[in-house]
Every structure is written in C-alpha cells, then in structure tokens.
C-alpha cells in the first residue's frame, strides 16, 4: 500500500493532508524519514508520524454531527477554541472533519477516520451537493437577487457555479451548492447585498441533519455510508 493511503487508513488525515505531512518530513518508515507519498509500505513496516506509531484500522467509522455556533471544524485549534472533534467520543480513533464549516455556521458536518471517504466527499470534481438555510439582512430578497444567485455570482476568486436557490420567505433562503469554497455562501450573499445573519447546513449529499440538536451526534449506519460512497459514481454519471 502506498504510504499516503496507509496514513489515511490509519486515520492520521485525509489522503491529501497525509501527502503534506509526508512532504514535511514528519513520517518515518523503519526509522528513516520518507518524503515520498508513493512509497510502498506493508503492515510489517514500522510507520511513525512525529515519532508515534500508526496502524491502519480494520473498520472505519463515520459520525454525523450537528455543529453548534462557536465550535471550529478542526481536530485541533491553536487558539484553544472548542472543536467539533471534541463533541464525539473517539474511543482511541483519530477522527477529523469532512470539509469545514466556519465557526459561526451551524449544522451538519461529518467526522470520520476514513481518509478515502473524506477525499471522495470533498474533491471538487465530484461536486457533492451541500444544502444551507440562510437568514439574511438587507431587506426583502427580490426575484432578481434569486436569479442572480442561481446563475452564479462573481467573487474575488472567480464566478460561482449555478446554485439551487429557493426563497422560503423574504429573508430566508435555501441554497444548494455543488462546490465548497471558503465561506462561499456568506460571500455570495454579501455580493448581492444581503449579508448573512445566520447560516445552517442541513444536508450533505444524500444525508440530512435530521433530528439532531446542536451539539448532538450519531454514528451512521452501513447503508448510509454506502450511499455516501456512491455519490462520486453518481457525479460521473451526470
């Protein structure tokens, strides 16, 4: 197995993040620093990250979490803010978030130790749908604004893809994205002069937040994980 994949299976990080860890010289194999993510390793090799031995886990887990406001979507935070990983009992596993929500955005986020699944759900080419409920300021939202959001708006890092937009009431929108730029919903609504007052993600791919209250979590069933894994195949079929 390639070293990059080995680290992902061990729950160290996603494949892409594992690649950066390897390039930074933090990984040793049998006592020697290895900086090549494609290096083949086996279960017989002594693989360590920052001196700590890592082993692939036989079964991976996926948790759905309803992230509260003020909680950051990282495994660790240098400013000692509460992290989404701290909401779930890890039982010795190294969990990390699938994608990110900014600190003040609430709602559905996944935690897993499955690096392959995390990559599948966050890679831009798969355009996994994410659904948000946004309450906005700036007065009632008109039909021209809705059409502008649907068509795509110009941001500093380029135009957005067309979005699904439903006006729930004059100040509340349901927005469906197929891309995941940093703070994208907030920036899109700023661009049309309707700044966000509150933002909540309610759906990721086929999975919705359901009855989870803020701060609550649940382990996904095997059928739900299988549905998540099928999302990239469905994207290729489009």
Q: Which 3 state secondary structure label does DSSP give 32? A: strand
Structure confidence at residue 81 (pLDDT)? 92
| pTM for the predicted model, two decimal places | 0.76
User: 222-225 contacts: CB < 8 A, separation 24 or more?
Assistant: 224/62, 225/62, 225/117
Q: 91 catalytic, yes or no?
A: no
Q: Strand 52-53 relative to strand 47-49: parallel, antiparallel, unpaired? A: antiparallel
Q: Which residues of the chain have pLDDT under 70?
A: 11, 56-59, 232-238
Tens-place pLDDT, residues 141-174: 999 999 999 999 999 999 999 999 999 999 999 9
Structure confidence at residue 93 (pLDDT)? 79
Give the tokens for residue 160. 């957005």
Structure confidence at residue 230 (pLDDT)? 87
Say how many C-beta atoms besides its own lie within 10 A of residue 59's C-beta. Answer: 7
Structure confidence at residue 237 (pLDDT)? 53
The Cα 21–Cα 33 span in angstroms is 11
Q: Tell me which of 102, 114, 116, 193 is the catalytic residue.
A: 102
How far apart, in Å, do the first and last CA atoms of the chain sit? 31
> What is the CA 224 to chain-centroid distance, rounded?
16
Contact between residue 173 and residue 213 where contact means Cβ atoms under 8 Å apart: no
């Amino acid at each position: 197995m390639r070293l990059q994949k080995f680290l992902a299976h061990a729950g160290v990080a996603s494949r892409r993040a594992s690649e950066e860890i390897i390039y930074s010289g933090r990984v040793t194999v049998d006592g020697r620093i290895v900086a090549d993510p494609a290096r083949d390793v086996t279960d017989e090799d002594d693989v360590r990250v920052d001196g700590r031995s890592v082993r692939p886990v036989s079964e991976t887990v996926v948790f759905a979490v309803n992230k509260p406001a003020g909680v950051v979507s990282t495994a660790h935070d240098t400013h000692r803010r509460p992290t989404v990983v701290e909401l779930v009992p890890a039982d010795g596993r190294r969990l990390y978030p699938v994608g990110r929500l900014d600190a003040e955005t609430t709602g559905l986020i996944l935690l897993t130790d499955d690096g392959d699944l995390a990559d599948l759900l966050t890679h831009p080419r798969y355009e996994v749908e994410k659904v948000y409920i946004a309450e906005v300021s700036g007065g009632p939202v008109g039909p021209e604004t809705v059409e502008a959001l649907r068509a795509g708006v110009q941001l500093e890092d380029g135009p957005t893809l067309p979005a699904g937009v439903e006006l729930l009431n004059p100040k509340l929108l349901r927005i469906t994205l197929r891309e995941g730029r940093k703070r994208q919903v907030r920036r899109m609504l700023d661009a049309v002069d309707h700044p966000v007052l509150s933002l909540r993600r309610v759906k990721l791919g086929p999975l919705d937040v359901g009855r989870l209250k803020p701060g609550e979590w649940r382990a996904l069933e095997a059928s739900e994980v299988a549905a998540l894994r099928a999302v990239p195949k469905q994207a290729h079929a489009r």
